[in-house]
Chains A and B, each alone.
Chain A
Amino acid sequence: MSTVAEPHVGRALRRKEDPRLITGRARYVDDISLPGTLWAAFVRSPEAHARIVSIDTSAANARPGVHAVFTGKDLTDLGGPLPMAWVPPGVEVKNPEHWPLAKDEVKHVGDPVAMVIGADRYEVVDAAECVAVEYESLPVITDPEAALEGGPFVHEELGTNKVHEWSLAGGDLDAGFAEADVVVERRVVNHRTAGAAIEPRGVLADYRAGQLTLWSSTQVPHFVRLFTAILLGMSEERVRVIAPEVGGGFGSKLQVYGEEILACWASRKTGHPIKWIETRSENMAVTHQGRDQISYVRMGAKRDGTVTAFHVKIIADFGAYNMLLTPLIPSLGAFVMGGCYKIPAVTTDIVGVFTNKCPTDAIRGAGRPEATHMIEVTLDQMAAELGMDPIEIRRKNFIPPEDFPAAVATGVVYDSGDYQKTLDRLLEHVDFPAFRREQEELRGKGVYRGIGLSTYTEICGLAPSRITGPGGVGVQAGGWESAMVRVHNTGAVTAYTGSSGHGQGHETAFAQIVADRLGVDPANVEVLHGDTGTGPEGRNTYGSRSLAVGGEALAKCATKIAEKAKAIVAYQLEAAPEDIEVRDGQFSVKGSPDKAMTLADIAGAAYLNLIPDGMEPGLEDTTFYDPENFVFPFGAHACIVDVDADTGKIKVERYVAVDDCGKAINPLLIDGQLHGGIVHALGQALYERIHYDEDGQLVTGTFVDYALPTAAELPSFELDRTETPSPVNSLGAKGIGEAGTIAASAAVTNAVIDALRPLGVTYVNMPLSPMRVWEAIAEAKGASPEGGVHA
């Protein structure tokens, strides 16, 4: 067993998970085969809203290799519809039944109406095309603001499309606006996007002899296990859910999907393993989508730039159904609606609305990118209104470092922050005065270059149960995380986490954390996750929680092991337990480094029972950790763009980001998360848009029409970091999985507006497509965009 002296936490170790991934040896769901497997394919609605008149399955049933065709009518033994897990105290949330196969009506394009089971992956698709479904078209509504006004109703029985109303208010809003010299109002559109993990979803369900195993490309195997057991009427210990290698999630796999339940149900029905692998076209139509908010924002400020009040009214388009956390998502942004500013009054009013579109739910950032976009873009609008520099208005309003932990108007307590420091560091990299000179020169040559800032904080590390749970915000789940650490006979370590990684690097970062506490090399710490059959009950991965909650659970668990190890060493070496320290890869007596035992020695003693009387043999432990507070990463981003005024095309010339996620565990992984996170937001701002036409037809149903950014559109990024430890956990760490996405859309939008100001453009909503930008320029010139030539 090798031992290494220096701390592993803080080092940019390359990843332990990579060898299998770069050699093609990893196993994703579609790579797993079981004997006797049958394939599933779904018949999906081509209509956005229709009554199912009849379904004729006879031709499909007659196809070669077809074993069964199921429709909604067959689901009589299913325990209930798909789950929604948010019950906010005192708030009515309309929650119509959502069945895995539509029973009477379809509510959006892609809604499944039949499931075909057959022997061959190609033939089952042929058979699905032979299912004849007769639809009676019903009126369609896709505009959320129109849907709030009245019918047609997505769920006729509700007599409304309004799902719920929810508010979070702090401070005296009226007084804040009364105090303001200037009030800025904008309509901010945050359009609908796809998660677009490159691995589509997939399931393999195997029910045999009363035991069910489900492999699913999911972020949340523990949630899926619970609801599969409930809906199939099985005892929970008989259901095992495994998230094998998972090819990205971005929130889109934080869900309990109908296909997961149906595959298990059909496996029990047919006695065969059932496999279904989502096509990209299905993914675009039925895997939950994100954002889709229209907001009316009002910001009040004094002449000197002091912001006195911020009011946001969000109309959130939920699509056709509530899924697991659909109505909660906009609320997640409300807690940080004041951003990193000392604003005395902040109110967020949310109204949810059904439309005939795919449901929305958590997508990377989940409510917080929308919040940051509103604050940061509106703040720049205010600065322009006041004739102030965007840097100065931020400096004027930052919560000062001495205020932390800082109780803000929205009722939460920001754990730590030093916003001035990240902005100052950013300005070391980006010379603003020089940029302004260059900008002026370029404008003389007809080149429209702009710079945009986003100084953000966000709320993550979901979650303290006391705040988010049933007694707080109303999520019907605890926000803790579990850890189990097992030291084997030889001193090798297996660490189990209830979080469920899908690309983040859990196996490396968590090994670093455990290794330091046990005096071993991370190479000898195997981190296991994503299997309900191997570790303790877990709460999975989303909301940038894995490190701040799951990593801390592992740190605490490893510390418990270290305490026991110290007692064993003290017994063996006849020293006092408090005199034993972990040093240079050994447990040694303070002041006598030659009197020492390695973890291998200690494990040997623990399993040979050469331990103090009354101590249990063995060397393993379990920890459940529920954080006292969220963590609040923050940072300062700057984006520089060139806009082609003739075509509206935008090129990102430079992107510089200084982020602070507390103590860095592995800088390599932090940078990777930021790169991807920033591009996720640049993609939304510049290229990506889920678009439905007014008949509810999905226009962007493939990667041909839905423009994910490619390497060719993007620059390389310039990243820097400050470290302001979190007081919430012993690691001092904060989440970083979503921060880039939360920060970046505002930076690029502000940059585009900055570029276009000489052309008279003062505001523009995303998506900043060439068409949208060209129209904004044309409108500012006084030309009619409708009548003009569209470049």
Chain B
Amino acid sequence: MSGPVPVRLNVNGEEHQLEVEPRLLLVHALRDNLELTGTHVGCDTSNCGACTVHLDGRAVKSCTVLAVQADGASVTTIEGLGSEGELHPLQEAFWNDHALQCGYCTPGMIMAAAGLLAENPNPTEEEVRHGLEGNLCRCTGYHNIVKAVLDAAKAKGATVGAPEVTA
């Protein structure tokens, strides 16, 4: 195996220099190296979407990206989307609409929804359902998740979406 390689990541607005094994997944770099444990892992085949983050503004499954592939990129995780005192409209809508139960899929679901709304600020229910089909939830039956995404879109109109992250 080749040795560690340097990787530069901007995560939630902060610059990080890491030395990682070439095979290290981005999700593990975020969780284990940067201790941002809000991004979860629910499968090993890129089906569940619990690991969804934004990479240079686009929603990606971070279990399917090597940390080295993200070299030089900006990453936004759930921790960078909003905080308890300053919730993102999607976080607020998920809370209001009971769009989560165990919460495990939630960070990925919210990041995927933010990616969806960035591309389509006023989606129909059908568009939300198809837009989230890469994210699995076992608790909610998706009913309240779909409602929350539509409510967040209504609440913020076209401004909801990927947050601005300073480079």
Which residues from chain A sit less than 8 Å from chain B, CB to CB? 14-15, 17-28, 30-31, 121-122, 196-200, 245-248, 250, 277, 279-281, 502-505, 668-669, 671-672, 675-680, 702-704, 708, 710-712, 714, 716-717
Contacts and interface: CB of A to CB of B under 8 A. Distances in A.
B44 A22 contact: no
**Mostly helix, strand, loop or mixed at chain A's interface?**
loop
B47 A714 contact: no
A18 B94 contact: yes
Across the A-B interface, give the 4 residue pairs with the lowest CB-CB distance, nearest first.
Answer: A24-B38, A247-B104, A503-B102, A21-B103
Given A198-B102, A676-B101, A676-B140, A702 B44 contact: yes
A279 B44 contact: yes
Nearest to A18: B95
7 contacts: A22-B91, A23-B79, A23-B84, A28-B40, A197-B104, A200-B42, A702-B47
B68 to A, nearest CB: 14
Interface string B119-134: 0000001001110111
A22 B38 CA distance: 9
Interface extent on B, as a size class? 35 or more
A503 B104 CA distance: 9
Given A247-B104, A704-B47, A711-B146, 15 more contacts: A22-B106, A22-B110, A24-B107, A26-B103, A31-B37, A197-B138, A199-B102, A248-B101, A279-B44, A503-B139, A669-B98, A672-B139, A702-B44, A710-B136, A716-B146
A26 B32 CA distance: 15
Interface in B9-64: 21, 23-24, 28, 31-32, 36-45, 47-48, 50
B117 interface: no
Contact of B98 (A15, A197, A247, A712): A15
B38 A25 contact: yes
A704 B105 contact: no
A196 B138 contact: yes
B145 interface: yes
B84 to A, nearest CB: 5
A153 B113 CA distance: 51
A20 B136 CA distance: 20
Nearest to A712: B133
Given A24-B79, A714-B129, A197 B102 contact: yes
Contacts of B106: 21-22
B78 interface: yes
Contacts of B44: 279-281, 702
B163 interface: no
Contacts of A676: 101, 138-141
Given A18-B95, A505-B101, A24 B141 contact: no
Contacts of B125: 716
B54 to A, nearest CB: 13
A26 B78 CA distance: 11
A770 B110 CA distance: 32
A654 to B, nearest CB: 13
A335 to B, nearest CB: 27
Interface string B138-167: 111111111100000000000000000000
Interface centre among A19, A505, A680 (most CB of B within 10 A): A19
A675 B87 CA distance: 26
A672 B101 contact: yes
A716 B150 CA distance: 13
B133 A23 contact: no
B74 interface: no
Contacts of B100: 18, 21-22
Contact of B136 (A15, A21, A31, A703): A703
A348 B99 CA distance: 39
A675 B38 contact: no
A24 B138 contact: no
Given A22-B100, A198-B138, A714-B141, A122 B95 contact: no
